[in-house]
């Protein structure tokens, strides 16, 4: 598996570590016959980074060129950003953020009192390619309790286009026993819940127990709506801007 990434910077430019991406080759035949189900949207949550980490690339296990990696089950997260007709949404920023192995966020109010993993980036971003593809190397999410609130294992995902936030959701681990008692999960339309449930499956031949996961994000908006610049939010906007948004 790791042989496919001979150098970190080369690996950061590589998509589909496990070959999990099934690509649309052209719009015509597929899009006309297919109307995709929009991915369920959820709240952003209170722990979007209030101060960006030193590194914001798509490898959350290594900060800059450090030697020591983060602790956790190494997971390769892949997918595409698509419209409901199967068109790839290119040049969209995909952001993810999640807790580390100690259940701490990269947020001043989202740290556990017992400490956090200083080697986990906690946040990453990736610009989709011409096929709408994205790729992250991260850890399998874990359940936690913060500020008295219990949450099942999840990864926050946000999509921005032309500097404007157009979509937020939370990737959930399919079959996780904690999903049933999570307040956010209970508010998702049961008919749409399957659009955010993701299998984390072992990578064949991995000597360190790596996992692969895939989430295609289908936006229930037209490309014209994505391009109109009126959809608020945006990539890595500051905490002050968020407060001003109300």
Residues assigned a catalytic role = 105, 144, 151, 154, 156
Counting Cα atoms < 13 Å in the Cβ hemisphere of 8 gives: 13
**To the nearest 10°, the Cα dihedral for 169, 229, 88, 11?**
-70
154: nearest Cα among 120, 122, 179, 126? 179
Residues in the chain, overall count: 246
**Sign of the Cα pseudo-torsion (73, 125, 164, 31, in order):** negative
Query: What span, in angstroms and rounded, lies between the C-alpha atoms of 151 and 219?
Result: 25
Specify whether the CB–CB gap between 96 and 157 falls below 8 A. Answer: yes
């Amino acid at each position: 598996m790791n042989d496919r990434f001979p150098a970190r910077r080369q690996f950061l430019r590589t998509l589909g570590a496990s070959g999990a991406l099934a690509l649309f080759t052209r719009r015509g035949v597929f899009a006309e016959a297919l109307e995709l189900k929009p991915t369920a949207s959820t709240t952003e949550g209170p722990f979007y980074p209030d101060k960006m980490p030193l590194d914001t690339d798509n490898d959350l296990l290594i900060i800059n060129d450090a030697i020591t990696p983060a602790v956790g089950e190494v997971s390769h997260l892949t997918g595409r950003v698509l419209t409901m007709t199967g068109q790839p949404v290119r040049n969209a920023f995909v952001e993810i953020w999640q807790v580390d192995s100690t259940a701490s966020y990269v947020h001043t109010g989202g740290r556990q009192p017992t400490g956090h993993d200083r080697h986990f980036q906690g946040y990453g971003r990736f610009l989709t390619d011409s096929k709408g593809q994205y790729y992250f190397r991260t850890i399998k999410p874990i359940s936690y309790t913060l500020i008295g609130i219990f949450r099942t294992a999840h990864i926050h995902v946000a999509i921005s286009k032309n500097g404007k936030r157009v979509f937020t959701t939370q990737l959930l681990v399919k079959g996780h026993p904690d999903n049933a008692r999570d307040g956010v999960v209970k508010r998702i339309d049961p008919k749409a819940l399957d659009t955010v449930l993701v299998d984390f499956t072992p990578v064949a031949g991995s000597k360190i127990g790596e996992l692969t996961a895939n989430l295609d994000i289908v936006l229930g908006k037209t490309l014209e709506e994505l391009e109109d610049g009126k959809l608020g939010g945006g990539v890595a906007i500051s905490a002050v801007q968020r407060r001003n948004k109300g």
